[in-house]
Structure 1
Amino acid sequence: MKKILPKALKNILVLAGITFAVTASILFSLFTTNLLEDLTKQHLEKDTQTIEAHLNDRLQNLRSSLDRIKKSEELNAIVKAQEIDKIREFFEKTTRKEGFELGLMTDNNGIVIFRAENKNVIGDYVYNNNPWGRAVIKGQEITTIEKSGLMPLISVAGSPLLDEDGNFMAGIFIGEKVDKDLTLELKHLETRNNIEVAFYTKEEGIFASSFENQDDENNIKRFFNEGSEWIKNGRGSEDIEKIRIINSQYHHIKNIVFEGLEHSPGGMLVFHRSFNQQGIILYLSGFITLTLIAYFSFLLIIKKRTERIIYLLVVWLIFDLISVQTSSKIKSLQPVNPDYDSSIVYNSTAKLEPETGVFKKNTEHEVKIIINTAGEKINAANFNIKYNPEIVAVSEINIGNSICSKEGFVEKIIDQTEGLVKIGCVIFKESFNGSRGEIAGFKLRTLREGDYVLRFEEDSNVFASDGLGTEVLRSTRGGSYQVIDQKSKKQGFPEILIFSDSHQNQTRWYNDKKVRITWIPVEDEYNQYQWLINKNADTIKNWENSEKTKNNEIETSNLEDGENYFHIIGEKNGVLGPESKLKIRIDTTPPEPVKLKITNRDVKVGDLIRVSFTGSDITSGVQSFYAKINNRNYFPVESTFFIPFTAPGKYYLSIRVFDQADNYRDTEIEINVSGRNILERLLNLSGEKMILLGRILGIK
């Protein structure tokens, strides 16, 4: 009994030592993990502060330069005399000398008379096109990062030039591009290599980043798309968040939302890669801690060296098992792409940039065709764009910045008689799968006043680089524009120019009911305005139910879905001027649920099922239909298609329908496939190939 008790006690003490060692190791690992997390967040906060300070320094340098320019006696003298040619000459010389990337000057009406980056593009009304233009024409000094008609974001400083009586004589602006070069500059402010920077707008999502690997950049752009919470609602601006996005690598992310002059135009995401050696550090720290505790515990209990080594090996084995299981458990609990819709539609969209604007008669402006591939590789495109040849004339097609090969343009046609531009091109060297690519730009000369639209024709298309020439253009967005003649009057009064910063394009459907409308005040002609909003495009005959205001802007959230019309007239001493109106198209309601039919929901391996469906949208109309199986990507489908199944399992077929305002609705059904053929059993195949209108999807 005396011999048994010490041995039993020894075993108990050994187990207690092992338990204590394992517990201490786990606690130490958790402590180390939290410590590394805190260090990473501290690094990111410091890096973010450094980057923000650098951006602010750049803005202040712009402001200092502009303050110096606007104090020039020569500039003020020629502006006061309205010597346009001398103003252009002075500003061109100044911007070239100072090395500004962007420079712009307006006349006393807010119309551009000089643009440094493109001297031939003048005559646009910055009051309509940009928040910074509206601020300066009201007499405000601005220094900010804002959106621009021809670029997603710019750093800009602007000032009004006023006469002795405080009257607006001109607007002067200088700026810098917010692009990939800037992200690389910000990235290299830090000596560590684990910082990345990306800029985004709410309309496009990420448009520029410091990720140098193209696949990584495309993944980031798909992840932080314009529909994500990060872009739409500023997620990550209050607290640093940790997510896994690129090659399952963890990143800590800080969202810097730019305030903007009227509302936020977008922001900047700062990424800090988590320590790559974190797992090794945790393992080694735990391993060393465990070994020391276990060894000294066994040294007191176990006298024989052989037994100590055996027990130590057992402890190491237990530690390894716990480490592997804990690591697997943590990974399974950590959501992969928690904000990422793995069902992003992989199809291209095309738009015009700018998509709206007001231009002076007899001036030139440029419009670009911009494509977003949503990550799908393309190698060819053709676009046919219709315009009104009585109001504008297309003078030139510019392919200098095109993603297409210069020798790959098979069509560059301007048909002024029909009012049609035809552009077709091929990408020879490498396919393109970016989120922002310019196909071509074209210059338009305004001929007479009036409204005009640029519309993509239905035979426009984009082709996938899949060897099949699959058509992958999901949607297009044209533009609406105004041409003004400052000397023109109706009924003896000037017509009021109306703009909507929130709903700029009269041809586009918006899924936002919050509408902001502004107009150019005509203080010498009108002392107040009357306005109303209805569903009628006809001229208003009775203004008794109208609202009256002396301001030049309104904001409302009470508009119904459908086409709404804002009507306004000016009034002076009881005399009413001519009516102006603006069309606003709103659709906030998803399409009707798809009516989906399949031949059978319970099938055998090798069976072919027929899928058919119908869908509708009562307001803006249906844009397109897409289908996916399980968690794969959506692909375009027609109203009837067939699916062959070659592997058993439970599958979920989802049909997504988009309307013209980009609202969508999903309809899903479950399909059970049973049985497996002999060949699959022998080869132990675990995948399936599904043919969907010529597209082959791998189903796991």
Structure 2
Amino acid sequence: MKRLFFGHTLAGLFIHTVVMILAAFFGSQILISAVNETAPEIQSPAEVKKEAILVLSPASALITKGGGKLAVQIVVYPGTVSINAVGVTMRYSANLKVVDLSRVNSFCTLYPEELVDSSARRIRIGCGAPNPGLTASAGVVETVVFQAISNGQARVEIDLDNSSVHANDGYGTNVLSRVEGAIFSITETKPATPLPKAVITSSPTHPDQNRWYSNRNPIFHWAQDEGVIGYATLLDQNPQGNPDPTVLEKGGLKQFSNLEEGVWYFHLRAKNNAGLGPISHFIIQIDATTPELNVQTNQTTVTEGEIVTIGFSSTDAETFLVKIRNESFETASSPLNLTNLPHGKSIIYIRAIDRAGNITERSVTVYVESENLIERFFDWLRLTFLNTK
């Protein structure tokens, strides 16, 4: 049987060249497609938000010299990730003495490190819990019991640089963002009991009363004063709410879950043997709905040098960000005119961000055709046979 051989004629040489080009082109495309479909993705560690907080509770108190003792809880607020280990370094004033470390109510089950160095006035605590670790919005690490030994102001500080909170992510990522210490007043004798003062309330989850937050699970904590029997609390949407004084909280922490959107008021008052103190109020604002985002473009297929106009709008977004291909997001306004897009496929991402930080993202795909006839021929081949740009 005869073999056809085109190399002996000019026509054969041309056909041979075209066949080789097409074979190389489609062969490489098929190989790349096959590799992309069969090769497993290499998983990189997911980005973990660094938002955990270590807090001392109470943050302030009045202690009597000598017999006065105060139990100070180390409380961790992990944020949106679960954690499984905490390391805390604390330092305290010379007019305080550590008399006990207590594991009561701690989320930890393992305690590889519990050290009190009285000469350096330094406390080091390291503890953890097996998987899944701490999944709640807050947890007690350990309780340190202090005794007052001389009058004046006493400070207990958490050393941020030598403390850590580790995510349960398989990498032990440190997610500690900030710490809050405590200041205590030590007196010689216990004064006559006055009515409690207004309680200072704060929220590690919703710290700014003028801001909106997407978190539906607020946490409140407050400084516990010596001599207080308990605290009456109430969370409602009435700015003048009055908590029931017959139902008292013993601790300095209150958590709520799955609140509806809107403005909420946390009301708090202390009670001691002399009676009830004034009501304090703390405002939180919740908006957990992602913003609406409308995106329009004048055309999605252009030739090199043509301008692409993208319009976007939202009824409740405060900020718009735009990213072209693999570049970084940058602040933008509508309409957005894009020039000099590279040849081929470009994806433009538009983000709308509302007052609470909720994000909605849309994208527009633009194809830029080359003015070069050969490149446009290959673009046509990709579109016709591989359905890609």
Normalised TM-score (structure 1): 0.30
**Greater relative contact order (CA < 8 Å, ≥ 6 in sequence):** 2
Q: Decide which structure has greater strand share.
A: 2
Instruction: Specify which structure has the higher proportion of helix.
Output: 1
Q: TM-score, normalized by length of structure 2? A: 0.50
